[in-house]
Amino acid sequence: MVDITSSLWTDFLGQIREAKNQLGAPETLWYRGHPNSKFYLLASLLRYKNGLDKEQQLFGDFKRFSDRILRRKESDWETLFDMQHYGVPTRLLDWSETFGVALFFAATYNQSHHPSADAAIYLLDPIALNRLSGISSIYHVPRDEAKFDYRKIYWDHNPFAPIAPIAIEPLFSNDRMLAQRGMFTVHHDKIDPLEDAFPTAIKKVVIPNALIPACLEFLELSNLNMFSVFPDLAGLADYLANTSGLER
C-alpha cells in the first residue's frame, strides 16, 4: 500500500510540473484547491441565478450595515474583500501563491465534505489571463483603483466590459489573507468553465481519492492546518475540535 501511495504522489507532482510547463513555466503562478474535481471555477455570486441582478444591492447593504462594525473603508475593493472574508457572495474567487495552501483546501474539505470524490488543484498564470483582457500586468488594489474601478467597470462597463476574469493582488488586510497568501480573480458575467475557455492561462490537475491520505500526511508534516491557514479564533476553534481526540 505504501508503494502504491508513493507512486500516486510522485505521479501527482509530475502532473503539477507538467501543467506548469504547459503554461510556459511562468515566474508568477497561483493555485486553487477544490475538494471535488467535478466543481469548476466560479465566483460565489455567479452560483446564483439572479446573482448579477442582486450584486449592487448586496454591496450597498453590506456597506450600510457593516459601517458600525467594521472600520469604514475608503476603497470599494476593500469592501469587497470584507464581503468575501465574511461569506457574502461576490465576483471574487480566491487563489493562493502557495501550493500547500491550495492542497489544504482540496484535501481537508474533501475528507470532510466529499470523502468518496476525487479532488483537484487549479494552476493559474495571472499575467497570461490578464493579457486576454488587454492588461499587461496584475492590478494591485486598492492602489490601482483609479485605473481599475470596481463599480465603473463591473456595473457601468466603463471604460470596458470584461470578457474574462481579471487577476488582482490585494493588500493583506487581515491575518487570513496573509497566512493564505491570498490573491483573487474578479469574474466577468459568464459562467462557463474557465479551464475550457482560457486553456493558455489555466490548467487543472485531478487528485485521485486514493491519494488524499498522502496529501493529508504532507499537510500535517508541513504544519498546514486549520489554525495556520485560518489564524483567528474561528480557525483555532476548528483546529482544537479536530485535534483534541474527542470521540462522538
What's the angle, vertex CA 104, arms to CA 102 and CA 107, rounded to 5?
A: 110
> Among residues 40, 53, 43, 25, which one has the least CA distance to residue 167?
43
Residue pair 207/12 in contact (Cβ under 8 Å)? The answer is yes
Q: 3-state DSSP call for residue 55?
A: helix
Rounded to two decimals, the pTM is 0.91
Cα 120 from chain centroid?
Answer: 13
Amino acid, single-letter form, for residue 137: S
pLDDT at 158: 95
Q: What value does the CA radius of gyration of the chain take, rounded to a whole number of Å?
A: 19
Mean pLDDT by 10 residues, the chain (248 residues): 69 97 97 96 96 97 87 86 93 97 97 96 98 95 94 95 95 76 94 92 97 95 91 82 80
pLDDT at 95: 97
> Among residues 188, 149, 148, which one has the least CA distance to residue 165?
188
Q: What is the mean pLDDT of the chain?
A: 92
Q: Which residue's entry shows cell 483546501?
A: 105
> Among residues 28, 46, 23, 20, which one has the least CA distance to residue 95?
28
- Domain boundaries of the chain, sorted by first residue: 4-244
pLDDT at 1: 43
Residue 139 φ/ψ, nearest 5 degrees: -70, 135
